[in-house]
Amino acid sequence: MGEIRSALEIALEKADRLGKISKEELEQQKWSDEGKKIAASYIQGKIDNLQEALSKLQGSDVAAVLDGVMDVLLRNVMLPRDTMQWDSINRALKGLAEVKGSSAAQVIPQIEQLLRTYEQTRDQYRQQFKEQINQRMGGAQGMYGMEADEMQALAALEQEWTKISSQINDQFEQQLAPMKEYLRG
């Protein structure tokens, strides 16, 4: 899972790099940032046609713009933690198909299938785990009236679920990474 950084940390990191980069690299960064803005607007639904938005950029460094676009689109192709994420995932996949064309035609359905399989696997494990908890806890609902040893057992079960969930995520992330890398190339 990626590291979450504050806006200040990102700004300080950029400021540190600015002192070390050339004028050409600064120009590349500017166009990459422009691509990121366009892709973010597309993901949010503010832009309907990504190709059309990109075609409006004239005289820019197209490679840098596309690099920024790809960065944002691929960052939005992730293992869905809840159903609300599917909107941005689907927009990102649609955008990748627009940008990459036929080279993405085979990989995108595989990514969609992998993400759906991830959801099914996670849900099956979650259901099995809930059943185990009910069996271990004697079907007790709620924490009122639980003994201290029952509370400790529940905490241990939560840790166990965190470990299982992490293993599932790692397994599917390892499968998703090469597909995303293929699309980047």
Q: How far apart are CA 160 and CA 168, in angstroms?
A: 12
Three-state SS string over the chain comes to CCCCCCHHHHHHHHHHHHCCCCHHHHHHHHHHHHHHHHHHHHHCCCCCCHHHHHHCCCCCCHHHHHHHHHHHHHHCCCCCCCHHHHHHHHHHHHHHHHHHHHHHCCHHHHHHHHHHHHHHHHHHHHHHHHHHHHHHCCCCCCCCCCCHHHHHHHHHHHHHHHHHHHHHHHHHHHHHHHHHHHHHC
Kindly state the average pLDDT of the residues 121-136.
86
- For the chain, the structural domain boundaries read 1-75, 102-185
pTM, two decimal places: 0.77
Per-residue pLDDT of 101-114, as tens digits, reads 888 988 999 999 99
pLDDT value at 142 more than 60: no
Q: 38 near 30, Cβ under 8 Å?
A: no
pLDDT value at 97 more than 90: yes
pLDDT for the residue numbered 137: 67
Q: How far apart are CA 180 and CA 67, in angstroms?
A: 13
Structure tokens of 10? 């990102």
Range name among 66-75, 126-135, 144-153 with the lowest pLDDT average: 144-153
- CA 75 → CA 21, 72, 86, 148, distances in Å? 25, 5, 13, 43
- CA 95 → CA 29, 81, 98, distances in Å? 21, 21, 5
- CB count in 10 Å sphere of residue 5: 11
Confidence of residue 1 (pLDDT cuts 50, 70, 90): very low
Higher pLDDT, 155 or 2: 155
pLDDT value at 141 more than 60: no
pLDDT for the residue numbered 149: 67
Higher pLDDT, 45 or 146: 45
